[in-house]
Structure 1
């Protein structure tokens, strides 16, 4: 009953405010439902997930590398592999010189 006592200008202001709020709501809904924006949000999510996966893989690789470096056999194995490669390279060079 209090609405009947209000003046017409106040009612018009309320109507205009309601229209503006409704227009904003419609614009937000149109933006959310837009295929272009949905695709952009999807790509952003995929990029974010890919970044997290890459970060996790990097962490695993670093851990694996640290674990290998801590191994007591790492030094001798690398030295032995270096000697084998050097020996093979020298043999190949000598064989080519003989020919």
Structure 2
């Protein structure tokens, strides 16, 4: 079977489509590798994990509170522990970000 000659206009359309796809791929890679976006993704993951830890601690505290009488210092102590844990986590993230 003989090769059919391709229409030059069709070849140009194929080239232009390939260029557009390549440009989209490059933009997507640049977005993924952007330090700003990487930091935002890291912070989002840290917030999600902190939320899960807070939920777990809350569940433990609620179960513990049901099992024994409540101390008047339980609330402030837990709030203080949460603030300290959050401050330490943020400090570690900021230190990691500087490296």
TM-score w.r.t. structure 1 length?
0.64
Mapping 1:1-99, distance limit 5 Å: 2=3, 5-68=5-68
Bigger relative contact order (CA 8 A; separation at least 6)? 2
More helix by share: 1
> In 2, distance between residues paired with 1:12 and 1:62?
68
Backbone CA RMSD of aligned residues: 1.5
Specify every segment of 5 or more residues in structure 1 that has no aligned partner in the other structure, as ranges.
69-73, 75-99
Q: Residue by residue, what CA displacement relative to the aligned partner does 1:32-81 show, whole Å, maximum 9, x if unpaired? A: 1000000000000000000000010001001111122xxxxx5xxxxxxx
> After the TM superposition, which segments of 4 or more aligned residues of structure 1 sit over 3 Å from their partners?
none
> In 1, distance between residues paired with 2:6 and 2:60?
70
Specify every segment of 5 or more residues in structure 2 that has no aligned partner in the other structure, as ranges.
70-99
> In 2, distance between residues paired with 1:19 and 1:29?
15
| Count of residues in Structure 1 that have an aligned counterpart in Structure 2 | 68
